[in-house]
Chain A
Amino acid sequence: MSASDLSSKIKHNSKRSNMRISRGKKINRSRAGNMLLFVLMAICGLFMVLPIVMIVNNSLKPPDELFQFPPRLFVRNPTLENFADLFVLMGDTWVPFSRYILNTIIITGGGTIGHVLCASLAAYPLAKRKFPGSTLLFNVVILSLMFSWTVTQIPNYMIISALGINNTYLALILPSWSFGIGLYLMKQFMEQIPDSIIESARLDGAKEIKVFWLIVMPNVKPAWLTLAIFQFQILWGNTGGMFLRSEELKPMQFAMQQIMAGGAARAGASAAVAFIIAAIPITFFLICQSSIFETMTTSGIKE
């Protein structure tokens, strides 16, 4: 019988026995306890969903409902006017709104993929192939995590200028490849992989890069998906700050702040842009999330 057959059988069995437990008498939790837990979870869940419901509903509200007081959560007369307003409003400016979206996608995509690759590559030898100086490197990276990036902005600006990548996408993408947190997370997860798997691949004649790509990376898929979600969020919210000065390079977050600064007159458009800005990371997140759960059934390498 193959391993997958076996594991599916085990899963099936455990499912059945779980069900039996939930109906049977062996359980030591009372029904009242279960109900209490359920209510508690429901309240927590409500708190978590509420902001998203608010963003969605606001983007569909006509102006009179947006300004209603006391405010209502749910929209009465849903309309897509806000989105039309947004594109009309942004159509008047000399940089079209789609350009802002493209900028954000380039920065986020480049930064996320590069970061996950660089951090995983570096984490592998630190976790599994120690070399002289690897401990020192790791400690320095940990040390760097204590520093808030806000404080090192001035030196960073000087470095970016000196490299001549000021006012390009690279000014945001390249530094994000080396954030220490990714290395830290990947190393912690790679340490969990048993040496025996790596050793056996090596005995079969696999080169280091092959071991890394075909053995290590698939086994830490939850970790790098987590990292991707994490990095995606950070970069998605980037306004370009002081590094991007040309209007046609600015990301969407910057455009949103400009629209929001318009105050009451732009309330509809900013509700729409808030929806767009929030929708894409949530979608990305949901996709990654479901594949994090898929790996759950295929991994399980610990003995």
Chain B
Amino acid sequence: MKKSLSLSRKKAIVGLLFVLPFTTGFIVFIAAGIVSTVRMSLSDVVMAGTASGVELVWNEFQNYIIAFTQHPTFSEVLGTSLLNMLIDVPMIIFFSLFMALFINQKFRGRTLVRAIFFLPVILGAPAIATALSSARAMMIGGVSPASPEVMASLGSGMVVNVSYYLYMLGDLAIPPALIEYIIDAVARINSIISMSGVQIIIFLAALQSISPSVYEAAKIEGATPYEAFWLITFPLVSPLILTNVVYTIIDSFANSQVVTLSYNTIFTEYNYGLGSAFSLVSSLAVLVVLAIVTLLLSKRTFYHT
């Protein structure tokens, strides 16, 4: 299509009008906060009688130097968080795709099954999590939620030692790294289920936008369900696999230990500069992971044009 200058300018203006409400809010409420975090990470933050209540003193990257060379736990916590993320993400993606495919099928009693298997979506919600922890604590003897000792002591007695059984698989020449991955996955099953809610819905929405006529045509051509999955479903869902991977990485990192560490540094040790530096470094680390993953996946993604 040939575009005259005035037309393209008009289009740009229409586009800008659409984006305006979101962008205004984004700049005011979110971007400004991040910019100020960057500034704090480069400074000593001193309480002062100025209008904003704080004074920022430039300190030549001291916070970053401390974070990597002097802080006892930061590097380790960052490493663990990234590692946990790498373990969680494939599990969550696999689980949610599987769930979505399962829920999307036609079978008797599927309304009930859908309702049940959708529950992780809501169980991850903060409100429900609080309600649950209170319920769980009460089950353990009516104590207030603030007694982890009771829960821990009860928990250790009840849980089957999964690793014991799994290590026996070592005799079957299954590599120990794989066994450890499985043990880890089993131990995390609860958190994986509760973290895969949004991903299930995203996959489901993707599955629903595939026209039934495609499958119909494939069936007429003699495709087996197996072929239909790999040649139709998978390619058409693949753009949203990438979406989901990005979302999962971000989501799992938002709840990771390193975020807790930077939060504690800011709000219990009142070291604003150092905490902001932690947060920035970890954000950059996630960004690098994200860039690599996107690069790897987008080559294999099928785009419908």
Chain A residues engaging chain B, CB cutoff 8 angstroms: 7, 10-11, 13-15, 17-18, 21, 28, 41, 44-45, 47-49, 51-52, 54-55, 58, 66-67, 69, 71, 73, 117-119, 121-122, 124-126, 129-132, 134, 137, 140-148, 150-156, 158-159, 163, 174-175, 177-181, 183-185, 188-189, 191-192, 194, 208, 212, 222-223, 226, 229-230, 233-234, 236-238, 253, 256-257, 260-264, 267, 270-271, 273-275, 277-278, 281-282, 285-286, 289, 292-293, 295-296, 299-303
Contacts and interface: CB of A to CB of B under 8 A. Distances in A.
B25 interface: yes
B215 interface: yes
Contacts of B102: 41
A14 B215 contact: yes
A174 B142 CA distance: 39
Given A45-B113, A48-B193, A132 B204 contact: no
Main secondary structure of the interface of A (DSSP, over half): helix
B18 A212 contact: yes
B223 interface: no
Interface of B: 11-12, 14-16, 18-19, 21-26, 28-34, 36-37, 40, 52-53, 102, 104, 106, 113-132, 134-136, 138-145, 189-190, 193, 198, 201-202, 204-206, 208-216, 219, 224-226, 236, 239-240, 243, 246-247, 250, 253-254, 259, 262-263, 266-267, 272, 275-276, 279, 283-284, 286-287, 290, 304
A144 B254 CA distance: 12
B128 A49 contact: no
Contacts of B23: 122, 137
Contacts of B123: 48, 51
Contact of A274 (B12, B131, B144): B131
Given A148-B259, A233-B125, A263-B144, A17 B219 contact: yes
A125 B18 contact: yes
Contacts of A270: 134, 138
A48 B117 contact: yes
Contacts of A273: 131
Contacts of A41: 102, 113
A300 B130 contact: no
A238 to B, nearest CB: 8
Given A15-B106, A28-B224, A300-B211, 13 more contacts: A45-B113, A47-B189, A55-B135, A71-B139, A159-B32, A175-B30, A185-B243, A192-B304, A223-B205, A264-B143, A285-B121, A289-B114, A296-B208
A271 B134 contact: yes
A151 B131 contact: no
B15 A264 contact: no
B209 A156 contact: no
A13 B144 CA distance: 57
A263 B119 CA distance: 28
B147 to A, nearest CB: 10
Given A55-B131, A194-B304, A48 B120 contact: yes
A70 to B, nearest CB: 9
A236 B131 CA distance: 12
A256 B11 CA distance: 50
Given A48-B123, A267-B138, A296-B208, A177 B25 contact: yes
A152 B36 contact: yes
B127 A156 contact: no
Given A71-B141, A237-B125, A292-B205, A271 B135 contact: yes
B37 A137 contact: no
B15 A125 contact: yes
A281 B143 contact: no
A163 B24 CA distance: 13
A243 B219 CA distance: 58
Contacts of A132: 12
The 3 A-B residue pairs with the shortest CB-CB distance in the complex, in nearest-first order: A237-B126, A178-B25, A222-B205
Given A47-B193, A121-B21, A125-B19, A188 B239 contact: yes
B204 A292 contact: yes
B139 to A, nearest CB: 4
B135 A54 contact: yes
Nearest to B189: A47
Contact of A152 (B15, B33, B219): B33
Contacts of A286: 115
5 contacts: A7-B213, A129-B18, A152-B34, A212-B18, A234-B126
Contact of B202 (A121, A124, A185): A185
Contact of A66 (B34, B136, B138, B240): B138
A121 B19 contact: yes
B144 A260 contact: yes
Contact of B226 (A28, A66, A144, A155): A28
Contacts of B213: 7, 10, 300
Contact of A129 (B11, B140, B145, B275): B11
A238 B208 CA distance: 32
B70 to A, nearest CB: 20
A73 B140 CA distance: 11
A45 B120 CA distance: 10
Given A17-B219, A150-B259, A155 B210 contact: no
B122 A277 contact: no
Contacts of A223: 205
A141 B132 CA distance: 33
Given A45-B116, A256-B130, A188 B212 contact: no
